[in-house]
Amino acid sequence: MNTRRTMVARRAMTAVAITTGLVLSVAGCGGGGGDDKADKEATSRATEKGSGDDKGDSQVPEADKTLAEVKSNGITLAITSASRDEGGFLTVNGKVTNGTSGIWVGSEWRSDENELKKNGGSLAGASVIDQQGKKKYLVLRDTMGRCLCTKFEGGINQGQSVDWYAQFPAPPEGTSKVEFQVPTMPPASLEISEGE
């Protein structure tokens, strides 16, 4: 009988220990401590939002400026920057928006050059024309024949916009205006800014 009472007492103590542990765990996880953290996070988010709104009112973000925009066949090509780098390159950036009724893959913008044909749907067919110097600059490529430009892998869904870039040899220092040309799109006149 003595063994039986010892086992009952051990079970009772184990049950009390488990119950106490559970009560302390629930008390530690619930209520007060978690709300303070949530309140701090909410206050932090509100503060960040407020400071971001103040900046938005005082100046327009660089990405929202559009130097030129051309449209053709439901596609809108916006150019947001054309910057001459110190290394002798001209980098043109922008956004393309698919306004067609399906996926647009950019196949008509590929290059006719044999070396660049394998780039598929990309800005490999883009060029910059210096009217003053009477020169046409083609998109640059690496040693493997890949264009230094955006590839539209998988295409662009209907209504979607995608950022793009294309890099060219820079026109001479005195040239500040050029035309950006992509197959099937009208030319876009650009003013070159000096990079850093």
Which tokens is 125 given?
A: 């067919």
Distance CA 176, CA 25 (A): 69
Q: Higher confidence at residue 128 or residue 42? A: 128
Angle, vertex CA 103, rays to CA 144 and CA 164, nearest 5: 45
Which pTM value belongs to this model? Answer: 0.64
Co-location of 51 and 68 in the same domain: no
C-alpha separations of 7 from 2, 11, 13, 27, 39 in Å? 9, 6, 10, 30, 48
Co-location of 88 and 175 in the same domain: yes
Do β-strands 188-191 and 135-138 pair in parallel, antiparallel, or remain unpaired?
A: unpaired
Co-location of 148 and 110 in the same domain: yes
pLDDT more than 90, % of the chain: 33
Structural domain boundaries, residue 15: 2-58
Map residue 92 onto helix, strand or coil. Answer: strand
Residue 45's pLDDT is 39
Residue 180's pLDDT is 94
Co-location of 136 and 169 in the same domain: yes
Distance CA 123, CA 151 (A): 7
**Lowest pLDDT segment from 23-27, 65-69, 151-155:** 23-27
Confidence at 21, pLDDT banded by 50, 70, 90: low
**Domain count for the chain:** 2
Co-location of 103 and 18 in the same domain: no
Confidence at 12, pLDDT banded by 50, 70, 90: low
Q: 107: Cβ–Cβ under 8 A, 6 or more apart, which residues?
A: 120, 121
Tens of pLDDT along 106-136? Answer: 888 877 776 666 677 888 889 999 988 899 9
> Which CATH number covers residue 187?
2.60.40
pLDDT more than 70, % of the chain: 64
pLDDT beyond 70 at 84: yes
Highest mean pLDDT among 17-26, 51-60, 162-171: 162-171
pLDDT beyond 60 at 175: yes
Separate counts of helices (H) and strands (E) for the chain: 2, 9
Which tokens is 29 given?
A: 């996880």
pLDDT beyond 80 at 30: no
Co-location of 89 and 133 in the same domain: yes
Q: 184: Cβ–Cβ under 8 A, 6 or more apart, which residues?
A: 72, 73, 108, 109
Angle between helices 2-29 and 32-58 (to 10 degrees): 20
